[in-house]
Structure 1
Amino acid sequence: MSTVTTASRGPFSARWQEVLDVSAEVFFRRGYAEASVGDVAAALHMTKGSLYHYVRTKEDLLYEIIRQAHDLTLENLQRARAVKGSALDRLHGYFVGHIRINTDHLAKSTLIYRDLHNLSDDRRQQIISVRDDIETYVRGLLGDGARDGTVCPLVDSHLTSIEMFSTANGVYQWYRPNGPHAADEVAHSVADFVVSAVACGSAPTGLCFRHAHRP
């Protein structure tokens, strides 16, 4: 299996970070399958040989970009776990942070959703394991909310978490930094949307849609 070289890279290497940022933009705009190592090198104003000082393959670049983006999702998860309050409030706070990662790191987030399948099986599984931890956390909050009365007890936590993440992750398909809506507005609006869909007891009748319309 190809691995990333360690020369001139690491947490304090500004040039290595530039390599990842520029690679993400090239893959985002051209498409991972269509973009070449030569395209990335040209965008970095370096030779292909110099780029191979940092990585051995194009997949190495994709993996490091996606891994770095998932590090941000883990940081968001850690912050969310430290927050107190109702399960519904914690769900909202988590999704605001999750969506801000998608908006603030649009190119890298897009590669997760669009190009994860291009990673080798072992690398893809590493990323999926992080995703599974995050989904488990959200399902746990849905269960907590059902118990504390803020989340509808009729919700299927497995199906609902898929629906919530599908909406939150889908932001990459339409959000653009130069568009009509600011990143923070988008994050709060989408978080409001996915969380209100599971809330219970806030309607004028005291019932959520599920309670009001299911037999």
Structure 2
Amino acid sequence: MIPTPDLSHLTDQDKLYVYDPAEDTFLFLDALEQDAEDLKSQKPLICLEIGSGSGCVSAFMGSILGSTNTLYLCTDINNRASDCTHRTGRCNKIPLDPITCDLAHPLSKRLHHSVDIILFNPPYVPTESEEVLSAQSDRSISGSWAGGTDGMEVTNRLLGDVEALLSERGKFYLVTLERNNIPEICERMFRTFRLQCQVRVKTSDHLELTSARS
């Protein structure tokens, strides 16, 4: 088994502002571990995590792929999350490059069709739309879970950009809930972008989806 990244450097104060890894995070790690051999054989050059939070998922990816040949870009709207991601990379000897920004918008032109792996554990809990706007505006910890209508408001904003970011061999990993309407997500990604979806890991409430070019 691939060990979970060391997060002992995160303080109680950090956890007031940055999402502490939980069931959905560990589901994500399970899915990546299942695909570890395939990921290594792909030899990705650019890995992009959207909403990196503590940096746990990107550090885990780094432990799979190694720290020398892959560029690990990590975005988060929360400045404190970017700081935690940087420290997690340093603690686990994985060169994570955090960027404080909204999703991947400032990077989209420069990363056009060049990202081999996209990782996204979005805010997927259904809430009022006003709660999403407030959470994103405040750049607070609630931005890690408040998902708006059907829990999909933030995810929908990214889904339209995924195909333009992915390289020809690219894969997109997404954590979601049954109530986020998984069949509709899969149908949309195939109909609009010809990206084929698979459920990689499933728990009682969470699913880990992978989208790749068909």
In terms of fraction of residues, the more strand-rich structure is: 2
For the criterion TM > 0.5, the same-fold answer is: no
Could you state the TM-score of these two structures normalised by the residue count of structure 1? 0.28
In terms of fraction of residues, the more helix-rich structure is: 1
Could you state the TM-score of these two structures normalised by the residue count of structure 2? 0.28
Question: Between Structure 1 and Structure 2, whose CA radius of gyration is higher?
Answer: 1
Higher RCO (CA < 8 A, seq sep 6+): 1
